[in-house]
Amino acid sequence: LRCPICREAVPLPEPGVGALPPSFLVNQLLDLVASRRREVVPKCATHPGAPELLFCESCDQAFCGVCLGDAHADSRHTVVPFSIAVKRMSEILLYKAQLCLNKLDAAVEAVGTEIAQLDQSAEEVTDQVEASFREVQDLLEQRRKTLLAALQALWDGKKGLLQEQLDLIQAERSQLERECGATDGQLEVRNLTKKISDLDSKMGSLGLLAEPRENSYLRYDYVHNGALEDVSRALGVFGRLQTSRTFPPLCTLAVADCPAHLEASAVLRTFDYEGRPRTTGGDPVTVELTECEGEKKQLDVRLTDLGTGEYVLAFRPPRVGRYSLAAAVLGRSLQGSPFEFAATNGVDPDVVFGRRGSGDDCFLQPVAAVYGPGGLVYVLDTGNCRIKVLTPELAFVRHLAGVGVEERGGTGLAVSPSEGTLLVCNWKTRRVTEFDAEGTVLRGFTHAELREPTTLAVNSVGNVFVVDSSERCVFVFDRDGTLKKRIDGRIVSSGFNPSAIGVAPDDRILVAGSTIYVLDSDGKPAETMFREGRGKGRFSGLCFDSEGRVLAARSDRSKNSVLLFDAVGGALAFTIESRSGRLGRPGGVAALPGSRAAVVDLGNNCVKKYRYQ
């Protein structure tokens, strides 16, 4: 044999290998070989001389290549030697076991961290309990001192009066003793008689000094009212320990794609460990909303606890794009957090009312709408020669007929802010009619210069502004129909061709064709609010909401939409443009309470209600 260290030839002793001198390295190699796992390769009982068994990974079956080789010979089967399959599975088993161990280690760490946080919370709550009861003890001590101070004041007052009376008695006694001592050397009868008379008169006054002017009555009573019971009752409800059985991994957050610039919300629902919905609130919930792209600036989220185990997260995406909303309950993230969603530029209508026809829920060429008397929506249904009255939720109320919309000629509808009445203009009869909310006609007028009145508006003093499409101008009438002024291209612009008009709360006038012009209350041009772009579009309706914002319905070649301006003469703040419920041809628009807008869709014979904040 050769020595494994020096590689020199060593003769083998007669007793054999066991007679060789011991070697540390050889012993280590023997121990290593003995400790290795010996893989037993099974053989086929029918063909013991055949190669080792094979393993089909597709069928998960071990087989003999001689017995069943043809059954696993096609391309659908992945066949490897059985020893390799065992080795692979052993490695997979060890890998999976290691993953499980890692998860268990993470679980141990998480539970340990929670226990540490629990201990810390318990210590903090203990300190808070002690501090709160110290405050109660301070209040009790303050009350005790107040009562003792009041007792001391009463004690000192009574004792002072009695001491003053005692001093007075001593003074009288001393004076009497001096006077009696002075009479020892006076033997005249008249002097003695006078002294006796003085003492007799003093005897009557000394009777008052004999009675104490104060009394010794002092008493402490603490059951004269229900204060003790109130204190006991208050202490019974003083302080409260809060805990939660919420299991954050089972909590859900429902968030979906929403329009940009509008307030959206997501609902977080909490569950306990058994999967039962929680019915109480109070859990510490933290949320973080960020943009997925750009600066990833954190945005404001308003959290509302409904007290039912649900929490509403309100937020407003500032622009179109993708956002990430991360939520955690009890300091632990929800499963799947952060949640991603998209803010789009489309605004779907909340309510759609109407279809083509003549029924109560039908329209035929609706063109204008106003939010008028009684908090109702009035829609000019031109094709049916009527005005349909709806609630702000777009529910049918009644119809108004015979109010100047005959011959299918009604095109403009307005509200008089000073009178609370409605006015309609008819392009066929060339007449303006005023009526109340019940459909009673109050007055009407026409004028020789009116050719094709299409829309109108009324200011705070009752002046009526009528757009005449044929004359391409705006006529200004007083309430009685007297023509006061004509506003045309010579005053505004050479290309002046108005199609919509509105009067702001401050009586400024907005006139729009393809451009929005702002006029002062006298009709003089002040500024241009919106200039026509590349698209040859036109405005069909103007109105103002309660905050002074301007809503303008516009149609052009590429899209139909409603533009929102933050003020008269202000910048464009938002565009209402629906993808799923596209506006066929927007007509008039009316601002409703709650930042809602009712838009007349002439192309689809309906009214759609949108949210713009």
Q: How many domains does the chain have?
A: 4
Please report the pLDDT score of residue 500 as a whole number: 94
Q: Which domain holds residue 213?
A: 126-237
Q: Are residues 410 and 502 in the same domain?
A: yes
Please report the pLDDT score of residue 46 as a whole number: 66
Q: For residues 186-211, b (16+ Cβ closer than 10 Å) or e, as one string?
A: eeeeeeeeeeeeeeeeeeeeeeeeee
Please report the pLDDT score of residue 359 as a whole number: 93
Please report the pLDDT score of residue 185 as a whole number: 53
Q: Are residues 302 and 401 in the same domain?
A: no
Judge whether 270 lies within some domain: yes
Please identify every stretch of the chain with a pLDDT value under 70, giving residue numbers as ranges.
4, 17, 26, 33, 35-52, 65-66, 68-75, 181-190, 204, 207, 532-535
Last residue of a domain, one of 171, 204, 237: 237
Please report the pLDDT score of residue 97 as a whole number: 92
Q: Are residues 456 and 594 in the same domain?
A: yes
Q: Are residues 582 and 603 in the same domain?
A: yes
CATH number at residue 336: 2.60.40.10
Q: Are residues 483 and 405 in the same domain?
A: yes
357 near 364, Cβ under 8 Å? yes
Q: Are residues 294 and 357 in the same domain?
A: no
Q: Are residues 285 and 171 in the same domain?
A: no
What is the C-alpha to C-alpha distance for residues 83 and 85, in angstroms, rounded to an integer? Answer: 5
Judge whether 267 lies within some domain: yes
Q: Are residues 25 and 157 in the same domain?
A: no
Q: Are residues 325 and 411 in the same domain?
A: no
Please report the pLDDT score of residue 346 as a whole number: 82
Report percent pLDDT > 70 for the chain: 91
Judge whether 532 lies within some domain: yes
Last residue of a domain, one of 237, 271, 286: 237
What is the C-alpha to C-alpha distance for residues 259 and 467, in angstroms, rounded to an integer? Answer: 35
Judge whether 84 lies within some domain: no
Indicate the pairing of strand 310-315 with strand 302-305: antiparallel
Judge whether 118 lies within some domain: no
Q: Are residues 202 and 274 in the same domain?
A: no
Render pLDDT for 138-166 as a digit per residue (tens, 0 to 9). Answer: 999 999 999 999 999 999 999 999 999 88
Judge whether 120 lies within some domain: no
CATH number at residue 597: 2.120.10.30
Q: Are residues 335 and 386 in the same domain?
A: no
Q: Are residues 361 and 414 in the same domain?
A: yes
> Pick from 530, 582, 528: which is nearest to 558 by CA?
582
Judge whether 604 lies within some domain: yes
Treating both helix axes as pointing N-terminal to C-terminal, what angle do 82-182 and 189-209 enclose, rounded to 10 degrees? Answer: 160
Judge whether 29 lies within some domain: yes
